[in-house]
Structure 1
Amino acid sequence: MNIKLLFPFCIITFSQCAYLSGDGAGARESKSPAQLYSECMGTFADDAKCKEFVLKSIPDADVNLLGQNVDAKTAEASANIYIRAQLIQSLLYQNKLFVKGKLGEPDEKRVVNNWAPGMEEWLYYRPVSKFAEGSRPDREILIRFQRGTVVHVGYTPPSPNR
């Protein structure tokens, strides 16, 4: 009796797994502000409405980088800022010399000696990273070292208030 029920149960289980692991399996499509803006302009061709749409969709988008009248200095400064996920991935388990070569001198250095000897934190308040191309830069990057090796990279995202 149990064998007869096992076969339909397996078929139902595998079909649900195949259905849920497909290409559109609840994976939210993430686009950069520049991509959203260009798609909106292709559809509506209204600069003000498209910038408003991008701000509603992605609250930390930098609308100064969108549109035809983009300031060259602002665009160049934004191009020199790292994408957050790539920066975190490249800094983890590296040494202080690598971090200093990549990001420069930190704005503030702190020694953390409350729970482990050899802990140090470097804080960067200047724009170093951002979420995606076209986003506003993070307010702060915190890099925690233990015995000279990066063990944690923290960030404070831009404030939701403009």
Structure 2
Amino acid sequence: MKSKLLIPFCILTFSQCAYLSGETTGAREGKSPAQLYSECMSTFSDDAKCKEFVLKSIPDADVNLLGQNANQTELEASAHIFIRSELIQSLLYQNKLYVKNKLGEPDEKRVVNNWAPGMEEWLYYKPVSKFAEGSRPDREILIRFQRGAVVHVGYTPPRPNR
């Protein structure tokens, strides 16, 4: 009699554990390198260890922008770089004039003949976008136009190896 009640109880317990642990494992907290650094500094107050922690947590973080001895010219240059997701949303389906006013002249222009007539690609090698505040800038931004409107915005993220 006791074994008959034990089996459903075990199954119910295991299913609840799997259900509850499944909710928390998929959710990942998205913090910027500056937020991680400030939280670490408020806890440990060690600049070198906090920069190392930020690099381990976010491989593409720019530690030169963190801390008391951060370079002011790099901070100002980093402030003018767009966040990647916001840039992609703002550029899609816009025309060439809008893109040129927002990002400036492209570093390279290419005509793509093998896909469809009227396709053109603009490449930006200068720092234009980054993943989050405090991240290193992307290596390359590719904007593909079809008949004068943006149909695709691609990017090459920074190298994870330092």
Normalising by structure 1, we get a TM-score of: 0.85
Q: Distance in 1 between matches of 2:69 and 2:116?
A: 51
CA deviation string 1:64-100 (max 9, x = no partner): 0000011110000000000000000000000000000
The equivalent of 2:140 in structure 1 is: 140
**CA shift at 1:24, angstroms?**
5.1
Query: Partner letter of residue 99 of structure 1?
Result: V
Per-residue deviation at 1:25?
Answer: 7.2
Work out whether 1:89 is the aligned partner of 2:56.
no
Alignment deviations for residues 110-142 of structure 1 (CA, whole Å, 9 cap, x no partner): 000012000000000000000000000000000
Matches within 5 A, 1:80-119: 80-119=80-119
- Looking at secondary structure, tell me which structure has more helix per residue: 2
Separation in structure 2 between the aligned mates of residue 76 and residue 34 of structure 1, nearest angstrom: 15
Q: Which runs of 5 or more structure 1 residues have no equivalent in the other structure? A: 1-15
Give the whole-Å Cα distance in 2 for the aligned partners of 1:72 and 1:41.
20
Aligned amino acid, residue 71 of structure 1: N
1:144 aligned partner, one-letter code: R
Task: Please tell me the residue identity of whatever aligns with 1:100.
Answer: K
Q: Determine whether 1:36 maps to 2:36.
A: yes
Asked whether 1:62 is paired with 2:62, we answer yes
Structure 2: gaps of 5 or more residues: 1-15
Q: How does 1:6-85 map to 2 (within 5 A)?
A: 26-85=26-85
Give the letter for the 1:62 counterpart: D
TM-score relative to the length of structure 2: 0.85
- What is the alpha-carbon distance in structure 1 between the residues aligned to residue 63 and residue 156 of structure 2? 20
**Cα deviation, residue 29, structure 1:** 0.5
Partner of 1:150: 150
Q: Look up the equivalent residue of 1:102 and give its one-letter code.
A: K
CA RMSD of aligned residues (A): 1.7
Corresponding residue SS for 2:26: coil
The list of structure 1 runs, each at least 4 consecutive aligned residues, that deviate by more than 3 angstroms after superposition, is none
2:123 & 2:61 partners in 1: Cα distance? 23
Aligned residue pairs, count: 145
Matching residue's letter, 1:78:
S
